[in-house]
A = this chain, B = another copy of it.
Amino acid sequence: MESSLEAQVGPLRLERPTVLASGILGISVEIFGRLHGAGAGAIVSKSISVEPRDGYPGPTVVPLGGGGWINAVGLSNPGAAAFAGMIRDNRTVPIIVSLVGSAPEEFSSMVERFEGCHIAGYEINLSCPHVDDVGLEVGDDPELVSRVVRATKSAASVPVFAKVGLGRSDYLDTVSAAIDAGADGITAINTVQALAIDIEAQRPKLSNGIGGLSGIPIGTIAQRCVAQIHSQFDIPIMGCGGVSTWEDAVALVLAGASAVQLGSALGYGSPDRVFADVNDGIARYMERKGVRSVREMVGRALA
């Protein structure tokens, strides 16, 4: 029996089910090429805004031990114009451009910037837990979500994913608004709002104070959200959060994800091995369980 690692996330076909999460090594097309060559089925870029952003002063990304990370980078990114220039020559890597902003027009104007770039899709970051006025603020307002998704969809000629996270309001309302507005898929979840205090310095470890928790600690929270979305909506999901091994990836698929994003996992091992190791593990598991396609496994643990 031949099993295939191909994954289908709604309109998006991926040769392999593992995808680089947004904000992780996410601004250099050379790195994208390297990771794609090393097994990533697609690459989600750092979230791009209309204008460049320097982000916050350090510390912005701090490991917490136990495979956890906290970050508040302040959405540093080169801006849509510069980033479009950087990826213009790409022909081989399936790049999903992550977009962030606070008004629908920003999204449509950014999509226009990427006109002519060879990209595989967009991911709308509705859920960055530590930057005022963008991210979660948007995700917390279903009406705005709806307008942002609609603006992006109407400008874009490639699939559009909406990325959700645990915010102040019910993230399932955000999912619902995004679907109604035409999103082709949902990415779940972003980091979880957290605060790590250094007891010797008696202040937060991040310059921004509050940041987003990622990595192993949020794995079962991500499984929960993916399962909830999968059972309540008919929409393809890219699962994200706490995947560090192939077992975690399989668990997210069994919970309802059609593909799996890896973020903090890149900090645990060699960028040249992480995707391949997870892919190989998934393939061996499928072989052992007699599963022929990733699709067959999606949501199977909820049956």
Interface positions of A (Cβ within 8 A of B): 64, 66-68, 70, 166, 168-170, 172, 192-199, 202-204, 209-210, 213, 216-218, 220-221, 223-224, 227-228, 247, 250-251, 254-255, 285, 300-302
Complex Cα distance, B4 from A161, in Å, reads 54
19 pairs, A vs B, C-beta closer than 8 Å: A66-B67, A66-B216, A68-B220, A192-B192, A193-B224, A194-B220, A194-B223, A195-B224, A196-B223, A196-B251, A198-B301, A199-B254, A202-B254, A204-B301, A209-B227, A209-B302, A213-B221, A217-B217, A217-B220
- Which residues from B are CB-within-8-Å of A193? 221, 224
State which of B172, B192, B195, B199 has its C-beta within 8 Å of the C-beta of A285. Answer: B199
Contact B251 A227, beta carbon cutoff 8 Å: no
Complex Cα distance, B70 from A301, in Å, reads 17
Complex Cα distance, B42 from A295, in Å, reads 51
- Which residues from B are CB-within-8-Å of A227? 195, 209-210
Complex Cα distance, B220 from A68, in Å, reads 10
State which of B67, B169, B202 has its C-beta within 8 Å of the C-beta of A301. Answer: B202
- Count chain B CB atoms within 10 A of each CB in A67, A221, A255 and give the residue with the most: A221
Return A243 CB to nearest CB of chain B, in Å.
Answer: 12
State which of B68, B198, B210, B250 has its C-beta within 8 Å of the C-beta of A217. Answer: B68
Additional pairs, 7, CB under 8 Å, beyond known A66-B66, A70-B220, A193-B224: A195-B220, A196-B220, A197-B255, A199-B251, A202-B254, A204-B301, A210-B224
7 closest Cβ contacts across the A-B interface? A217-B217, A194-B220, A195-B224, A168-B170, A197-B251, A195-B223, A197-B301
